[in-house]
Chains A and B, each alone.
Chain A
Amino acid sequence: MSAHADSQTFNRIVGIHKPDCEMLMRCDPVPEAPLPGEAELVAALGSEQTAEYAMACRSIYEDLRRVIGQLAGLMILARVTRKIEFVELEQVDNCTKRWTDAGARIGALKAPGPVARHKQQIEAAHDFCGRVLKTFPQLSSRTDLDVTFDEMGEHLKQAYQNLSRASSHEAGLVMVDFANACCSCGR
């Protein structure tokens, strides 16, 4: 099956709007779900410096959370359908852009002593995502896809584990958005 046909297949599955859909781009911003503010973070995390770090870290954490989720979904589709063209879709470009942007912000992130280890975990998660992303373009030339997928899967797990270790409810770094979720009892 051609890449074009697979692209059509993916679009059939996801249906209505693509990420670059004009209608989506026109939407007005809506308020973010409530997360701890800076004052609450200072109280929770103990120092202004740490709170500033946590605030700056949020968007990076969110980007990596999404990159990991997207990569996992694409790998499932590619592996189950045996169509590696799935990983050449524009969603991979989106993912790469998000990963690149996150990398730039990690570079600029100031991590005071107590959170230096935390930053290392964020960096490791970013690094492992990068290894998966960089393998995607090489898939079509690989002869043993299962071995390659296994390696990618291991890197993805490492990325997830590092990001999980960097999670903190106090800092608003959470893996699952429970707002409005099945478990939300409205308290």
Chain B
Amino acid sequence: MSDYSIWVCEYSYVKDYHKSGVLYGAHNQGYVKLPYCYVVIKGRDHIAMVDVGYNDKEYGKHLGDKFGVENWRSPKTVLGAIGIKPEEVDTCFITHAHFDHFGNVEDFPNAKFYIQEREIAKWVWAMSLPDRMRWMMIAVDPGDIVRGVDLARDKRLVTVDGSLENVLPGIDLHAAFDSHTYGSMWVTVRNDGKEQSDDIWVLAGDLVYVFENIAGPGGAVDLEEIYTPVGLAVGSQTNLVMATEEMMKQANYEAKRVIPVHEERIKDVFPSRTTSEGLRITEICLADGETSKVTG
């Protein structure tokens, strides 16, 4: 029995992203394609998203010109490929406040948004620091926080302090403080609804970018594989490794069940297709009675 279907939907990508950004210490090892994706969870009369991407009107030209970000498509187009309208989304889990995860709340007019309280509070704190510490404010747009004020007004923003179970039936939130960002979180889906689930999916946000963050090369320490954290952390790589261990523990150490949304090779692990827009849809699992959106 599976309660939910889960799809990873690509909405844009960078062709040549330096590998050291996604994998700590991978200097001079070239570039990888970095897809920008969000996750759609459908079932139990809900449609939920993990992150909402960014709004191309605000950033598109700059990102295209300066960083080579290509082929941005709106949620209407991206979700349309799996038969969903943005207006049908009722819940959005924001794993962290970077512009490419929290930058498009306007396209989901009927959704309630969940974010860690600490992600907002530490933003206020970071903004108050001297200019020489400006690095600690990277990739957050004040405009996204301003739009958060509107969400709060409309009672569509919920700030969470740490873990929260059963936000939707069988879906839990888990905090990874001072890791990739100050108040990052990941989402677990217990797809059989059991407290001790045998069918759990971990949606890792940016706590895991690529497979090597979970199964990195361990030859240098005489091990086959070790956790190798992502490169970018305003918190610490230690906290990233600890969060990885916690996620893996929840997944009974089955690495396949920890889903990295920036991983291009996820298409080699799960059924996938490329849409007419040149963007990938990956089907992680299907709820009972749901039809595949990538095959047939």
**Which residues on A are within 8 Å of B, measured CB to CB?**
10, 13-15, 18-19, 24, 27, 29-30, 32-33, 59, 62, 65-66, 68-70, 72-77, 79-81, 91, 94-95, 146, 149-150, 153, 156-157, 160, 164, 169, 174-187
Bound CA–CA A138/B131 (angstroms): 30
CB distance from A184 to the nearest CB of B (A): 6
When distances are taken between beta carbons in the complex, the residues of chain A under 8 Å from B149 are 72, 75-76, 79, 153, 156-157
Please tell me which stretch of B134-142, B187-195, B248-256, B275-283 contacts chain A, meaning at least 4 of its Cβ atoms lie within 8 angstroms of it. Answer: B134-142
Specify the chain B residue showing the minimal Cβ separation from A183: B67
**Do A176 and B139 contact each other (CB < 8 Å), given the known contacts A76-B145, A149-B153, A184-B21?**
yes
Specify the chain B residue showing the minimal Cβ separation from A19: B128
Whether a CB of chain A sits under 8 angstroms from the CB of B24 is no
**Do A76 and B157 contact each other (CB < 8 Å), given the known contacts A185-B17, A186-B17?**
yes
Is the CB–CB distance between B125 and A160 below 8 Å?
A: no
Bound CA–CA A77/B118 (angstroms): 10
Whether a CB of chain A sits under 8 angstroms from the CB of B123 is yes
When distances are taken between beta carbons in the complex, the residues of chain A under 8 Å from B118 are 13-15
Bound CA–CA A174/B137 (angstroms): 13
**Which residues on B are within 8 Å of A, measured CB to CB?**
14-18, 21, 31, 34, 59, 62-63, 66-69, 98-100, 117-118, 120-125, 127-135, 137-143, 145-146, 148-150, 152-153, 157-159, 161, 177-178, 206, 232, 262
Specify the chain A residue showing the minimal Cβ separation from B142: A69
Bound CA–CA A29/B135 (angstroms): 12
CB distance from A125 to the nearest CB of B (A): 11
**Do A181 and B98 contact each other (CB < 8 Å), given the known contacts A77-B120, A79-B149, A187-B68?**
yes
Specify the chain A residue showing the minimal Cβ separation from B118: A13
When distances are taken between beta carbons in the complex, the residues of chain B under 8 Å from A81 are 159
Specify the chain B residue showing the minimal Cβ separation from A89: B124
CB distance from B216 to the nearest CB of A (A): 20
When distances are taken between beta carbons in the complex, the residues of chain B under 8 Å from A65 are 142
When distances are taken between beta carbons in the complex, the residues of chain B under 8 Å from A160 are 142-143, 146
Bound CA–CA A143/B14 (angstroms): 51
CB distance from B128 to the nearest CB of A (A): 4
Specify the chain A residue showing the minimal Cβ separation from B117: A13
For this complex, 17 residue pairs linking A to B, each with C-beta atoms less than 8 Å apart, are A24-B133, A29-B132, A59-B131, A72-B146, A76-B152, A79-B149, A79-B153, A153-B149, A178-B139, A179-B135, A181-B232, A182-B206, A182-B262, A183-B67, A185-B15, A185-B16, A187-B68
Q: Assuming A73-B127, A178-B62, A183-B63, what are 13 further A-B pairs, CB within 8 angstroms?
A: A13-B117, A19-B129, A59-B131, A68-B142, A69-B142, A76-B149, A81-B159, A91-B124, A149-B153, A156-B146, A181-B98, A181-B138, A185-B17
Is the CB–CB distance between B146 and A24 below 8 Å?
A: no
Is the CB–CB distance between B142 and A182 below 8 Å?
A: no
When distances are taken between beta carbons in the complex, the residues of chain B under 8 Å from A75 are 149, 152
When distances are taken between beta carbons in the complex, the residues of chain A under 8 Å from B18 are 184-186
When distances are taken between beta carbons in the complex, the residues of chain B under 8 Å from A66 are 127-128, 137, 142
Is the CB–CB distance between A32 and B131 below 8 Å?
A: yes
When distances are taken between beta carbons in the complex, the residues of chain B under 8 Å from A72 are 142, 145-146, 148-149
**Do A80 and B69 contact each other (CB < 8 Å), given the known contacts A160-B143, A180-B138?**
no
Is the CB–CB distance between B137 and A177 below 8 Å?
A: yes
Specify the chain B residue showing the minimal Cβ separation from A16: B178
CB distance from B256 to the nearest CB of A (A): 24
Is the CB–CB distance between A164 and B232 below 8 Å?
A: no
Specify the chain B residue showing the minimal Cβ separation from A68: B142
Is the CB–CB distance between A62 and B146 below 8 Å?
A: no
Specify the chain A residue showing the minimal Cβ separation from B61: A169
The residue that A94 contacts in the complex, of B120, B128, B153, with Cβ under 8 A, is B128
Which 5 pairs from chain A and chain B are nearest by CB?
A69-B142, A181-B139, A73-B124, A186-B18, A13-B121
Is the CB–CB distance between B31 and A62 below 8 Å?
A: no
CB distance from B127 to the nearest CB of A (A): 4
Bound CA–CA A174/B127 (angstroms): 15
Specify the chain A residue showing the minimal Cβ separation from B141: A176
When distances are taken between beta carbons in the complex, the residues of chain B under 8 Å from A174 are 62
When distances are taken between beta carbons in the complex, the residues of chain B under 8 Å from A153 are 149-150, 153
When distances are taken between beta carbons in the complex, the residues of chain A under 8 Å from B132 are 27, 29-30, 32
Bound CA–CA A178/B206 (angstroms): 16
Bound CA–CA A27/B135 (angstroms): 14
CB distance from B60 to the nearest CB of A (A): 11
Is the CB–CB distance between B59 and A176 below 8 Å?
A: yes
